[in-house]
């Protein structure tokens, strides 16, 4: 029986909340162990590299909880693909597309101890963890260097970096955990809140992630020309930073829950070939877009650019460069982040074929 074409999305939906919480937990732990006094002393000497080391960003071990959640998605994608491949092989044998006994060559289970799977997970893990850690480091470095250039007080910068202890007993409102672009956005929002210029203040009201509970205070400041009280500035800035961290966690978990399952899917197919259960040249993969208003326009072009599909190790031609499969970790960010496309996997022999997923292949 074919797998539902949405099975990777189903896996991602199941695992995304845990992956999101794992990312937030990792950032909370990073903030909790940060020492603002030590950071301020290092900033007094202009030692940004020392700050990165003191925070723990020179060692990606802070992402271990997220790494475990990511591996769970990889294994789930591989296991369900493995089960689908087994059913597909049995059907192909019954229709003389594959020779008898092909199913016996398939490993009993899929797991990270299988060599193709182990390599795929290792490569994906190393690349992703390095990317997240580097983006977080860049956010901290840019924030601190901008602050030093602007002459910000080191103690204030240290607290703006790590956050302040909130009612929950945890640090809130810092930029630690954000990317370079996000950290700069938070700092600009704080600068806008501190302004008395009406045009500058109005920019606050255009920020999508702002906490609208503070809009009234901004409007009063615009009308009166008086500054927003510092306590309200701090609360509004903290809320904006918290929402940006939540947004980053959502983007990362949404992308990586589906991508980890996709990497697992491809590893399961590689396993099937490595064991001899599937001949390499029997596999054709077809790019399928979701064909709705959220689909990237250039992703709608990919099926026509690859009308005959591609082999297991052949990349798809795309307008933004080759992709081995949707959400390929080697792809450019604009080509893969939050992508919802999928692959139809077809087993062929001559003019006979079977699809692994219950969705027709064009043509």
Residues 122, 71 contacting (CB under 8 angstroms): no
Q: How confident is the model over 339-349, as pLDDT tens digits?
A: 888 999 999 88
Say what the pLDDT of residue 363 is: 45
Percent of the chain with pLDDT over 70: 96
Residues 259, 252 contacting (CB under 8 angstroms): no
Q: How confident is the model over 20-30, as pLDDT tens digits?
A: 999 999 999 99
**Strand order, beta sheet including 352-355:** 283-288, 342-349, 352-355
Percent of the chain with pLDDT over 90: 59
pLDDT at 2 over 90: no
pLDDT tier for residue 323 given thresholds of 50, 70 and 90: very high
Say what the pLDDT of residue 349 is: 83
The H-or-E segment that residue 189 falls in is helix 180-193
Say what the pLDDT of residue 309 is: 95
Say what the pLDDT of residue 115 is: 64
């Amino acid at each position: 029986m074919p797998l539902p074409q949405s099975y990777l999305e189903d896996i991602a939906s199941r695992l995304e909340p845990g992956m999101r919480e794992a990312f937030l937990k990792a950032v909370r732990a990073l903030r909790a162990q940060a020492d603002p006094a030590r950071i301020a002393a290092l900033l007094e000497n202009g030692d940004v590299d020392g700050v990165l080391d003191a925070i723990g960003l020179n060692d990606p071990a802070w992402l271990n909880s997220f790494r475990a959640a990511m591996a769970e998605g990889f294994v789930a994608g591989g296991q369900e693909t493995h089960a689908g491949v087994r059913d597909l092989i049995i059907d192909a044998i019954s229709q003389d597309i594959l020779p008898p006994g092909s199913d016996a060559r398939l490993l009993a289970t899929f797991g990270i101890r299988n060599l193709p799977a182990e390599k795929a997970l290792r490569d994906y893990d190393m690349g992703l963890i390095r990317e997240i850690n580097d983006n977080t480091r860049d956010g901290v470095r840019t924030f601190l260097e901008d602050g030093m250039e602007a002459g910000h007080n080191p103690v204030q910068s240290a607290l703006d970096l790590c956050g302040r202890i909130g009612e929950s007993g945890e640090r809130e409102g810092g930029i630690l955990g954000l990317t370079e672009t996000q950290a700069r956005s938070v700092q600009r929002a704080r600068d806008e809140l501190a302004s008395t210029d009406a045009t500058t203040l109005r920019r606050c009201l255009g920020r999508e992630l702002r906490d609208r509970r503070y809009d009234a205070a901004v409007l009063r400041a615009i009308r009166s020309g008086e500054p927003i009280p510092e306590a309200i500035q701090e609360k509004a800035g903290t809320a904006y930073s918290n929402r940006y961290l939540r947004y980053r966690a959502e983007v990362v978990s949404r992308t990586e829950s589906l991508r980890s399952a996709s990497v697992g899917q491809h590893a399961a197919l590689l396993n099937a070939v490595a064991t001899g259960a599937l001949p390499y040249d029997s596999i054709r993969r077809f790019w399928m877009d979701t064909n709705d208003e959220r689909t990237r326009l250039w992703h709608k072009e990919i099926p026509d650019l690859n009308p005959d599909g591609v082999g297991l190790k052949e990349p798809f031609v795309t307008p933004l460069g080759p992709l081995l499969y949707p959400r390929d970790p080697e792809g450019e960010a604009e080509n893969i982040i939050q992508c919802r496309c999928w692959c139809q996997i077809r087993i062929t022999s001559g003019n006979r074929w079977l699809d692994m997923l219950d969705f027709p292949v064009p043509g």
